[in-house]
Structure 1
Amino acid sequence: MVFVLTVVGARVGSYYLRYGTIEYRRYEEQLVAYDTTLGAVQWTAPVESATFSIRNAIPDRLLGTGTLELSGADPGNRTVQLGPVADLDATIETLDIPVTDPVRPERDSAVIASAAVLALFFLAVPVGLAFSARVSTPQLIGLAIGIGPIFLLPVVLMIWAALRRI
């Protein structure tokens, strides 16, 4: 668990250092990402020739933010992201960005509920074994090591599917 928390903490810190200090500005026909901490331009993109699309990211859905994906940014016509920003619609309007498809997929309660129920069904067997008086601790550890990943994979996939539809 400590390893997982360390990896998650490193990812969150890395994400903040990459995108948390960026300001987005528009100068005539150029969109510029300026890092306020470094005091340097990170990338530029021509507004008219770049392709903008809304990213359907799980962190954006959970935190109520929005992110645009840009294809055709300099140097080398690479793909970059604008955001996450607190109000994506206001950012698009303020910077006058031509977004091809401005709508994110809607929240789908049926997918969320069915994925959660399936995840609970897959978790019921290991939890039942853990609380069973007939299974000793060494047997439980052996089952967790041997069969645990088989039950963990569908649970992780169901949680991911539910989070994609929040």
Structure 2
Amino acid sequence: MIGLRKLLQRDPPVESPETEVDASGHSADEIQTEYRSIILDQLVRGGVAPNCVELEVRPSGRLKDGRTSFVGMLRLVHWERSSAVRLLLGLPILESRVRRMIRGSWLREVSQFGGVWLHASGQLQDSRAMEDLRMLVLDIEKREHDSHPPSGSSVWTVPTDLGSLPDR
């Protein structure tokens, strides 16, 4: 009798979102792999070296219609100047192109794309990469200032640790 009681009281099986198949017949793994492929393809097309970023595609919620929303989580892990600048400045372009590719794929029918999120690795903080990035911001602002009079001042215009650097 105790065995039957335990059998009836046991917890329901834990669902595995990676292997669960939704109404469309596609598993979460299959959907994530396709998003990953599209995002990586657009990164390469945009001139971002794949070794500079880590990419994770993850579910971010469920819509009222039952579809799952997915986001692409990018982490800038290696400072390669050209790739990093293209990614940091071109993020809206990347996301726009990814969305365009998704509109033309089967993903649109079975899920929703929640966007591309970017995080700079802690390894890049207080490094040569940060100094290089500050110099790029200063250079861009100087060029903008030279071509258009400023309407305001940026909080990054003269970083405290770079304020004494000579002009280029």
Q: TM-score range by the shorter chain?
A: under 0.3
Looking at CA atoms only, which structure, 1 or 2, has the larger radius of gyration? 2
- From the two aligned structures, give the one with the greater strand fraction: 1
TM-score (normalised: structure 2)? 0.23
